[in-house]
């Protein structure tokens, strides 16, 4: 008789920690990209510069999402 797999329990105890780490990493990537853009102003082609600005916009959206998720997880976590 084949074994039935049981799903792993939903352990969300460290979700806030993981989200905060992702938020911190994303913010650091934004700072590094801003520094790169400033250091290489005038050296980048319009395509490359545009890509970096679009990436920064996506990071800003991700940061908003991380903050929202952190608030949500904090509200629903057992204290």
Quote the pLDDT of residue 19: 95
**CB distance 67 to 27 below 8 Å:** no
Quote the pLDDT of residue 11: 67
Tens-digit pLDDT profile for the chain (79 aa)?
567 777 766 666 788 999 999 999 999 999 999 999 999 999 999 999 999 999 999 999 999 999 999 999 888 776 5
Report the candidate in 58, 79, 72 with the shortest Cα–Cα distance to residue 15. Answer: 72
DSSP 37: H
């Amino acid at each position: 008789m084949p074994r039935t797999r049981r799903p792993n329990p939903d352990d969300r105890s460290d979700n806030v920690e993981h989200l905060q780490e992702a938020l911190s990493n994303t913010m650091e990537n934004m700072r590094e990209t801003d520094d790169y853009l400033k250091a290489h102003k005038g050296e980048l082609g319009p395509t490359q510069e545009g890509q970096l600005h679009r990436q920064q916009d996506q990071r800003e959206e991700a940061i908003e999402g991380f903050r929202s998720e952190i608030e949500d997880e904090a509200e629903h976590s057992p204290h």
